[in-house]
């Protein structure tokens, strides 16, 4: 299996009131194509920071990271952004949807920006059925439940044909019933579409849907 994400002695620190705060310490992690990884840790353990570094939202202060075999530090800003944009989908805890747009428009928005809307319109029909939202396509997302909104976010990543799905506490804003539905959808996407998934969660029950669990404690990664 191809290695999609590789972290080599990655560290992250911040300066706060002239003091250095070490958030991540010497993190080594390898994620291969088709894996479903759960990353657990208490609040402040550094798990979201690690996810944001992989997504390209933040930069490590030490160590190296490779995405699809390409070393981040060897790429210019445009090449790095293109690599991330074409390969990584991100699901946020609070959905990150435009509330006054309907389901269909929210799913199509990223590819509209990239000028690929016409090519993806046909695929949209399949994706809506796949995530169980075909009867909600014209509803504004503000009218949907939390679980339905999260399915819209997942559908958007699937439609973009991303190799990697990163999810930051994807069930943290949902009740247990809807949390289970989202995890079952993640498993379905992982197994049927071979999408590699890395989710951050504080819930042991949700973490166990992954095929492998890691834990972060005070910035140190444990298998």
pLDDT tens-digit readout, 78-87: 999 889 888 9
pTM of the predicted model, to two decimals?
0.89
pLDDT tens-digit readout, 156-173: 888 887 899 999 999 988
pLDDT tens-digit readout, 196-205: 999 999 899 9
Burial 173-204 (b: 16+ CB within 10 A, else e): bbeeebbbbbbebbeebbeeeebbbbbbbebe
CATH hierarchy code of domain 3-95+162-222: 3.40.50.300
Residues of the chain with pLDDT under 70: 112-122
The confidence score (pLDDT) of residue 86 equals 86
Q: Where are the domains of the chain?
A: 3-95+162-222
The confidence score (pLDDT) of residue 113 equals 60
Of 166, 171, 92, 158, residue with least CA distance to 128: 158
User: Helix, strand, or coil here: 166?
Assistant: strand
The confidence score (pLDDT) of residue 40 equals 95
The confidence score (pLDDT) of residue 194 equals 93
The confidence score (pLDDT) of residue 30 equals 97
Of 116, 139, 137, 115, residue with least CA distance to 126: 137
Of 40, 34, 73, 22, residue with least CA distance to 165: 34
Question: With DSSP H G I counted as helix, E B as strand and the rest as coil, what are the percentages for the chain, rounded to 5?
Answer: 40, 30, 30
């Amino acid at each position: 299996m191809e290695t999609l994400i590789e972290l080599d002695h990655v560290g992250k620190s911040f300066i706060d009131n002239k003091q250095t705060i070490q958030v991540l310490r010497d993190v080594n992690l390898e994620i291969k194509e088709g894996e479903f990884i759960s990353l657990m840790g208490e609040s402040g353990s550094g798990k979201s920071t690690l996810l944001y570094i992989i997504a390209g939202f933040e930069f490590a202060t030490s160590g190296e990271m490779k995405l699809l075999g390409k070393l981040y530090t060897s790429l210019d800003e445009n090449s790095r952004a293109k690599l991330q944009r074409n390969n990584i989908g991100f699901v946020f805890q609070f959905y990150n949807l435009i509330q006054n747009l309907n389901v269909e428009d929210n799913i199509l928005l990223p590819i509209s920006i990239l000028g690929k809307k016409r090519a993806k319109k046909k695929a949209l029909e399949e994706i809506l059925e796949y995530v169980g939202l075909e009867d909600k396509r014209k509803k504004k997302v503000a009218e949907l439940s939390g679980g339905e909104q999260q399915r819209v976010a997942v559908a958007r990543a699937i439609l973009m044909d991303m190799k990697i799905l990163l999810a930051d506490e994807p069930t943290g804003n949902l009740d247990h019933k809807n949390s289970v539905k989202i995890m079952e959808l993640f498993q379905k996407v992982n197994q049927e579409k071979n999408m590699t998934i890395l989710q951050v969660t504080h819930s042991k029950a949700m973490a166990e849907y992954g095929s492998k669990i890691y834990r972060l404690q005070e910035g140190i990664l444990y298998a």
